[in-house]
Structures are given as structure tokens and as C-alpha cells.
A and B are shown apart, each in its own frame.
Chain A
Amino acid sequence: MQHLETDLLILGGGSAGCIAAMRALQVNPALRVTIFEKSDITYGGSIARGMDALNIVAIPGRTDAQMYLEAVREMSGGIVDAAPSHVMAERSYALLKEMEGWGVKFPVDENGQYKTLKYHVKGEFQTAMDEPELKAMLVKRALDLGARPVNRVMGIRLLTDGGRIAGAVGLNVRTGQLVVCRAKTVLIASGGVSRFTLPNSGYLYGVYDYPGNTGDGFVLALRAGAGVTGMEYTQRTALIKDSNMPLLAICVTRGAKVLDCEGTVLMEGEVNNINAMNVAFTEGRGPVHIQLSHLPEEKIREIEHILFTTERPVNERFFGGRGIDFRKHDIELWPTEYYLCGGHGLAGIRVNERAETAVPGLYAAGDVASVAKQHLTGAFVFGEIAAEQAVKYCAEQPDTMFSEADVEAVRAEHAERFSAKGRDIEIHEFERKVRRMVADYLVSPKNEYKFSLWNYWSETFAKDLRNVAVHSGHELSKLYEIENLLTCADCSAVAGSFRKESRWGETHRRGDYPARDDANWKCHVVVKLKDGVLTPEKTPISELGEEVIL
């Protein structure tokens, strides 16, 4: 077992984690900053390479934070705390300027104005960006300032001291060794729950978001006493059939049409009706497809450039392999997988506009946090906010020390799991079955009977987990990942069963409560672990000037 000591421990070296490390060291260069990164920090996270747009920027004179707040509330069925979304939009333009300072390219039009695209209902917040090396640039800056990454390590338990955060235990996903890190403050930035259901392709890792995101942070926070919210927001997006890579916004905001099987246009020019795609499928008018053939050659080239260089360059190989040329052929979309994530949806650890959770000294940022539909802008802004708060917290608080008994408990469980002897379930079989049951029982259309059937499987899987053969450190990390996935699924079942109404179109549609019920359910459903039981509660939506209830 390796022992480390640091001031700020960041769990997850993706977009939020890296910018947090940078910001913390800018504010206090003497701070010790350690990053546990499950993969390798250079390309780790949902943004392995770059992005085609900074999704939310309120450009002065064109849009503002109030407009954005109205837009995100409309797009989230009203279930949005005001302050976090507002502060994100307020800081978004300064963020863009800061990124320009790193050398990130934001294309401008002939009048020198930033190129923007329509994605939100109220205005053009999405700002075009052209930077295939974004992640590598960010990492270089963080390391240059002195951040210390510990690669191939995932956080598996938070350590506390009288309710206050005191560190974490990590697991090396290659060697299976434990790493204990004492820390004055911890930032969870470990992404959403990507491997939630099975994608139609049947390939376990053929998912939209980074497949290393298995809800680790949600579970860490729950066990430490923080709340998670939006777990009933089981999101399903129409993605490229089989490859599950993104491209809808990239194409549609550049003039593409989305059609159903009858040729009816569902969207054109702006991404304003995602639900119509889901409805088309439900009503038997799928598959929907993107048509680009009417666009001029230069637009098609622009789209190809983005798809094939910036975000997921393997797109070129995928379409090439299937003989699809955008000039002649349409792109088939299927709603194939479900996931939980605060970047695109509402699921996440409850945070306020200071990135604080209910646990003193514990912060959360990025896809793992509950800032509604925050995308990359939220990961960056809240990464910075969390860092600023953490630096202050470190300076004000005395040292902490966790209890050795807590570490010993983790070690004993780890030793018990790290064995294949006498066990007859292979890890990939276990994962496949868990994710299939999640897809069977926890997504729309939902009903009480399905939730009760999930409860049977949840108990069964808890027993099966102890019978999974672990042959290597890598497989051991998978077992911890699937355990996290199961806990997130349990939260989704608890929250989904609790919210006795339908909201957000196909995202939470209950057959037994088909109507939206604002009188009773215009509130958050927050799940906390109370005496070992996942317990849901209603939490009011906060307005500007009000404290977010954590």
C-alpha cells in the first residue's frame, strides 16, 4: 500500500480536474495538488482530444446570464437551481478569453464576431471552437505549474474525520494496489455514469461518453454523506447507429435536416426538438436520419473536418467502412443507450454555486456534479470555482487525520475481492447482465412493477458480486466499477419510483403516472444514504439570491 499526503486531492484528471489543478496553483503556487486519474492524464476523460464548440458562452452584447438561465430552465422542465447555472454563464466569457490566452482557436466571421450556433432555446450560446489538442494543452499547463498526477488510479473510498473530508483511498487499475492519500480537501471530478445500459451494438465499451466513467464519484459522495440528485433523469440521445459517437449538433447547427422514416422534417438548422426524435421512434416512425446532401460542398467539408479531426476522428473510418458519403447518403440515428451525467442531463452530486457538497471540504465539478446541462463550460467554470474554494478552505482549516480503522476496512474488502479461487462468474459476463437489467427495468416507460423487479435483481447482484472471479488488478478495478454502477442504478430506481409523475419527455415517462404534475413534483429529488439505506427526499428549487439546499 502506498501512502501519499497532499493539500488538494482531485479525483479525475479530465476537463474539470485539470483546470481545477491549474486554477488552484495559480491562486496558491505553494499548494500541493495531487490528481488520481484512472487512465493516463494526457488524453483521459470524455474529451480525449478536443471539442468543436464551447457549448455555453454568454457573449456580452449578444446574450447574457439571465437569458441562459431561462433557456436552461425551459430545457430542463424547470428543475434547475438558479445560482449555479447563472454564475456559470456569467463567468463563461472570461473563460473563453482565458482559453484564447492558452492558444485555443475560436473562429470569427468576416466582422470579427465569434461564430455561434443555435442549440439553446433562447439564444446562440454555443460558440464554435477549433482545437483538436485541447486536452493535451490543458494537461501541459497543469503539470507545468506543479500538479502531480497519479495515473491509473481510481478513487474507491473517501476518508473523513468527524464528518469533514480527510483524504481518499485509490486503486491502481493495472496492478490492483491500493493508494492511501491524506488530503485537506477533495474535489470529485470523475465524470458521469457512461456504462449504464448496454448499447444496441452489444459492445460493452461502445458508448457515447468515456467508458471509464462508471459513476465512481456519485458513490464516493453518497457514502461520505453528500446527496445526489436527478438520478431519475435517465437520458437517451439519438446517436450514430452502432458507433454511438456524437454528431447531431455539429450537423444540424450547420444546416442539416433531421427526418423521420416518412420524410417529415423534425429539425433543421437548430437543435430545438430532441424529444421529437424519441417520439418518432416510440410511434414507429424511426429510424430518424440526418440529411446533408442538400448542403453546399463547403458546408459538408466543414462538417467532415470537425467530425474527422476534432472530437472523435475515428468517425472517418466508421463511415468509410460502411460506404457512407454525406453527399449522397443519410446518417442513421438510433436511441440506443441510456446514461446519467450532469454535463448533458441533470444527474449529479448536489452542489451549490461554490461547488460545495453537503460534506465540509468535499467539492464536485464537471459531469459528476448536478449543475444542469453544463457541458464543457460547466466543467471548466466549476473546476475553477471548486479550486478557488478549496484553496480558501485549506488556508482556514486545521489539519485532519482519518482513522486507520477505515483504511483497514477498505484493505480487508480489497483482499477479499482480489481472488479467482472458487468463483464462477467472469467479470465481463457480470457487467453485461447488470447493464441489461438496468435497461430492462430502469428506463422509460417506467412503472412501479418494473422498479420492484429491479429490486430483486439488485439484491441478487449484491450477492453475485462476491462470486466474481478476479484474475488481475485490471479486473479488480472493473469489479469496483460495476459495484458503483449498481449503486447508481439503485439510486435511479429509488428516485424514479419516488417521482410519481412524468417529466422531460422520454427521459422520465411513467406508464402509471403519465401526466406532468407541477403541483407536487416541481422540485428536486435528492437521494442520500441514511443508516445504510438510499433515501429519497423532495428538495425545493432555489431562485437567485437563495441558498441551494444541499
Chain B
Amino acid sequence: MPGFKSHSGSAAVLDRNHVDTDQIIPKQFLKKIDKAGYGEFLFYDWRYLSDGGENPAFDLNKKEAKGASILVAGKNFGCGSSREHAPWALKDYGFQVIIAESFADIFFNNCVKNGILPIRLSVNDIQQLRKDPSEKVIQNLTVNLEEQYVANQNGEVFRFDFDPYWKKMLLNGWDEISVTLHQEAKIKKYEDERIVN
């Protein structure tokens, strides 16, 4: 995986809390056995009408939102099922960064492992990112993982916290399994000493 240092792009705003992974990618698309091609099914039930056409009322279908590479959402984003198909779909659609008030734990991990940067910002900061609160697309956001900030086009800077270990993994694009396999001696030792039920 390539390393993630910084990213600039426009952000689509999804003004909802508790967006669960069933909404991000409904279960009928979980039957594939590879990781590719989920983007067209992202937010399926919101994005398409029952006749298969695009739902013009859905925020991501608005003309200005096309091409957004950052997604801004509310509280508890990615709750529910552990399906990693959710970040696969988000990434395949083109999102590289997700900014939310909070994330569900498993989803947060799943993002990091797929090279998507999940950023927690306060509700006030998220409000301030936009020029006006009704704005559904935020132009020209810059996200810098190395320095841990998001900047908008007015030059306002919003800092975020990030776990140092995952930061290093993301910055370098390291394969986590290779890193762990270097701990082989310790794993072996643990296995030799552990008490088995």
C-alpha cells in the first residue's frame, strides 16, 4: 500500500449520525469473494431510486459533490456490522479521508487497514470547516497526517489526535502482517509458555 502523508481535495458532507455499514454497503453486495468493484454499490439504497436511476435528492449525487475525495459525517459513523466491504466501497468510490465526530471501533480499524484516513473532529470544528452550515460540499480542504491537521480554504487549521502507531503504519504504507511476523520469536515464546484450557 502506498504511504499516506497528506491529501487535498473537496469534501462531500453527509449530514447524518449513526450511519451504519448496512447503509454504506447493503448485504446483497457482500457475496463477492474479492475486494474490488464495490464503489458503484456505495450507499446503494440512498443513492439509487427503485427503478435503478440516481436519486437526485441524495447529497452525494449533487453535481458539486462528484469527485469529492473526502467525506464528512456526524456521530458514530460506520456502526453496526464489521463488514470491511464498507471501507472497500468508500475507497473504490474515491474517498481517501473520512472526517466525523466519532467512529465505531471496528470500522475505524478497517479504514486504517485499507489506507483510508479516519479523522475525529469536534462538532464545532466540523461546522467551522464549512463556509456556511448548509454547505454540502467543502472545496479545497487539505488534510495533513504528518502534522495532524485539517485546513480549509480560509486558512483555518483544525488539529486532530491520532494514534502514533497507526500514524506510522499509514505514513509508511507498511504491511502490518510483515511487521508482526518480525515478532515471531516472541509469539513462539508466548505459545510455549501459555496455559491451554
Chain B binds chain A = no
Residues of B within 8 A of A (CB): none
